[in-house]
């Protein structure tokens, strides 16, 4: 039977790779929904090529431009956050690939889960903000949560060689980013260009900065906690600069199962779509003799403070993770606009968390209000010069 796919964020790095994967998979997969925020030129090209049932433009200012560019095909065109939420739950969709960046994807993921869609999740921020809520809705609606993040795909694959109850430890690998091995002093004055120069992965700007601060790994610790229902104490991070071992699972008998491949997001995207089957894909096969050596080291959590804060926040839970994520999103935006220094990102996150009164048993409203508060608090901190 044909699988009908919605790609939320089809113009992004994950979205574009997902389209390459679907194209290569052939007739069993069909593109049903495509969405973008502002890149309406690319979205229009994608719509003309893949002819989805629905296309969504979330930025209302770009709606008219998109209509003109898309021409008069049969694709239904929706607008704004409301259109995104509707499209994520559309009747003609089997699998939703969540590939929007940041908290902006939260309501659409919840909508897809409530509608019982299989969710292939790249967009980790909603799991960080509302992991408890999302996993609860998924359980209630019998929804499969399939990881697309390469580390979580690796864990998902490795965990299948045992029973989840037999897991002793999850070892999340991290490339270490462009500043691996740097001292606190050396990262004081790094530039935007240096922070965007990731050594192994080619990704969107926000996640690339998150990799440089190691915030990305902190978000992934929380993501893993919810996806695999393991306590945070059982999740460790190891820096592995070759980015060949995408993560590992240690079982109670001491066996460690690792998943390895070339660093190419097409593989985890494909596995989420074909699961539980494996098929030949477009990812180049790994030749270990060409890699030669695989190395691992402990991360320096004093230099990469976001990771240390992430562990604390993961333990606290409640609205703390929403503040953690939102403060980071706001700070990364300021950094990319050249308004703050690289090291200010972790500083701003800490300031917001220090000031926030955590609410446990948080509802969606609590989480959204914590998110809004943190974004505003970042602005206030900047007015006060942090």
Ligand X SMILES: NC(=O)c1ccc[n+]([C@@H]2O[C@H](COP(=O)([O-])OP(=O)(O)OC[C@H]3O[C@@H](n4cnc5c(N)ncnc54)[C@H](OP(=O)(O)O)[C@@H]3O)[C@@H](O)[C@H]2O)c1
Angle at 1 between CA 95 and CA 27, to 5 degrees: 85
Which DSSP letter does residue 202 get? Answer: -
Nearer to ligand X, 120 or 353 (CB): 120
Please report where in the chains the tokens 């993770």 appear, as a residue.
Answer: 321
Closest CA to 173 of 202, 201, 196, 145: 201
> Could you give the string, one character per residue 260-299, with x where binding to ligand X holds by CB under 6 A and - elsewhere?
-----x----------------------------------
Q: How far apart are CA 85 and CA 261, in angstroms?
A: 34
Q: How many CA atoms lie within 13 A of 78 on its CB side?
A: 19
3-state secondary structure 130-181: HHHHHHHHHHHCCCCEEECCHHHHHHHHHHCCCCHHHEEEEEEEECCCCCCC
Task: Examine residue 14 and tell whether it contacts ligand X (CB under 6 A).
Answer: yes
Q: Which stretch binds ligand X (CB under 6 A): 94-102, 128-136, 343-351, 354-362?
A: 94-102
Q: Are strands 256-260 and 245-251 parallel, antiparallel or unpaired?
A: antiparallel
Task: Examine residue 101 and tell whether it contacts ligand X (CB under 6 A).
Answer: yes
Minimum CB distance to ligand X, residue 150 (Å):
6
Minimum CB distance to ligand X, residue 88 (Å):
11
Instruction: List the interface residues with ligand X, window 50-79 (CB under 6 A).
Output: 58
- Out of 9, 52, 176, 281, name the contact with ligand X by CB under 6 A: 9
Please report where in the chains the tokens 């059982």 appear, as a residue.
Answer: 234
Minimum CB distance to ligand X, residue 100 (Å):
4
- Out of 123, 213, 247, 325, name the contact with ligand X by CB under 6 A: 123
Q: Are 178 and 198 in contact (CB under 8 A)?
A: yes
- Out of 11, 153, 211, 259, name the contact with ligand X by CB under 6 A: 11
Which DSSP letter does residue 297 get? Answer: B
Minimum CB distance to ligand X, residue 293 (Å):
24
- Out of 5, 88, 138, 207, name the contact with ligand X by CB under 6 A: 207
Task: Examine residue 100 and tell whether it contacts ligand X (CB under 6 A).
Answer: yes
- Out of 6, 22, 34, 36, name the contact with ligand X by CB under 6 A: 36
- Count of other CB atoms within 10 angstroms of residue 333: 17
Nearer to ligand X, 59 or 168 (CB): 59
- Out of 80, 168, 201, 234, name the contact with ligand X by CB under 6 A: 201
Q: How many residues in the shown chain lie near ligand X by CB under 6 A?
A: 27
Instruction: List the interface residues with ligand X, window 208-267 (CB under 6 A).
Output: 265
* Burial of 90 from C-beta contacts in 10 A (0-12 / 13-18 / 19+): buried
Q: What tokens were used for 32?
A: 């049903």
- Count of other CB atoms within 10 angstroms of residue 194: 13
Q: What tokens were used for 352?
A: 């917001």
Q: Which stretch binds ligand X (CB under 6 A): 186-194, 202-210, 330-338, 371-379?
A: 202-210
* Burial of 327 from C-beta contacts in 10 A (0-12 / 13-18 / 19+): buried
Nearer to ligand X, 9 or 281 (CB): 9
Task: Examine residue 328 and tell whether it contacts ligand X (CB under 6 A).
Answer: no
Ranges of beta strands (E only) in the chain are: 3-8, 29-36, 54-57, 76-79, 95-98, 118-121, 145-147, 167-174, 235-239, 245-251, 256-260
Nearer to ligand X, 333 or 341 (CB): 333
Q: What tokens were used for 327?
A: 């403060």
Minimum CB distance to ligand X, residue 80 (Å):
9
Distance of CA 345 to the CA centre of its chain: 19
Task: Examine residue 149 and tell whether it contacts ligand X (CB under 6 A).
Answer: yes
Minimum CB distance to ligand X, residue 208 (Å):
8
Please report where in the chains the tokens 């995408």 appear, as a residue.
Answer: 246
Q: Which stretch binds ligand X (CB under 6 A): 5-13, 24-32, 222-230, 363-371?
A: 5-13
Task: Examine residue 124 and tell whether it contacts ligand X (CB under 6 A).
Answer: yes
Nearest residue relative to ligand X (C-beta):
12
Give contact residues for ligand X (rule: CB under 6 A). 9-15, 36-39, 58, 99-101, 104, 122-125, 149, 201, 203-204, 206-207, 265
């Amino acid at each position: 039977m044909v699988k009908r796919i919605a790609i939320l964020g089809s113009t992004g790095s994950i979205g574009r790779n997902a389209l390459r994967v679907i194209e290569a998979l052939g007739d069993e997969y069909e593109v049903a929904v495509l969405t973008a925020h502002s890149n309406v030129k690319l979205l229009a090209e994608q719509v003309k090529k893949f002819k989805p049932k629905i296309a969504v433009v979330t930025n209302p200012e770009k709606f008219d431009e998109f209509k003109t560019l898309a021409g008069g095909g049969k694709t239904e065109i929706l607008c704004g956050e409301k259109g995104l939420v509707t499209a994520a739950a559309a009747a003609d969709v089997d699998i939703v690939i969540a590939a929007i960046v940041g908290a902006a994807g939260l309501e659409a993921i919840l909508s897809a889960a409530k509608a019982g869609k299989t969710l292939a999740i790249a967009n980790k921020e909603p799991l960080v903000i509302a992991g408890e809520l999302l996993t609860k809705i998924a359980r209630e609606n019998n929804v499969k949560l399939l990881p697309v993040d390469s580390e979580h795909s690796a864990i998902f694959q490795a965990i299948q060689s045992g029973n989840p109850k037999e897991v002793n430890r999850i070892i999340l690998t991290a490339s270490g980013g462009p500043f691996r091995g740097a001292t606190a002093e050396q990262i004081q004055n790094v530039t935007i260009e240096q922070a965007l120069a990731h050594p192994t992965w080619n990704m969107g700007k926000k996640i690339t900065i998150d990799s440089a601060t190691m915030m990305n790994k902190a978000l992934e610790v929380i993501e893993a906690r919810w996806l695999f229902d393991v306590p945070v104490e059982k999740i460790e991070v190891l820096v592995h600069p070759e980015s060949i071992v995408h993560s590992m699972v240690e079982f109670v008998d001491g066996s460690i199962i690792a998943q390895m491949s070339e660093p190419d997001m097409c593989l985890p995207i494909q596995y989420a779509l074909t699961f539980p089957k494996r098929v030949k894909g477009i990812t180049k096969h790994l030749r270990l003799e060409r890699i030669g050596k695989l190395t691992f080291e402990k991360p320096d959590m004093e230099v990469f403070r976001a990771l240390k804060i992430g562990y604390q926040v993961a333990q606290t839970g409640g609205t703390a993770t929403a503040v953690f994520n939102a403060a980071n999103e706001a700070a990364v935006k300021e950094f990319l606009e050249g308004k703050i220094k690289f090291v200010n990102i972790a500083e701003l996150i800490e300031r917001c968390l220090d000031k926030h009164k955590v609410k446990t048993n948080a509802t969606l409203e609590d989480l959204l209000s914590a998110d809004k508060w943190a974004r505003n608090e970042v602005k206030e901190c900047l007015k006060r010069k942090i």
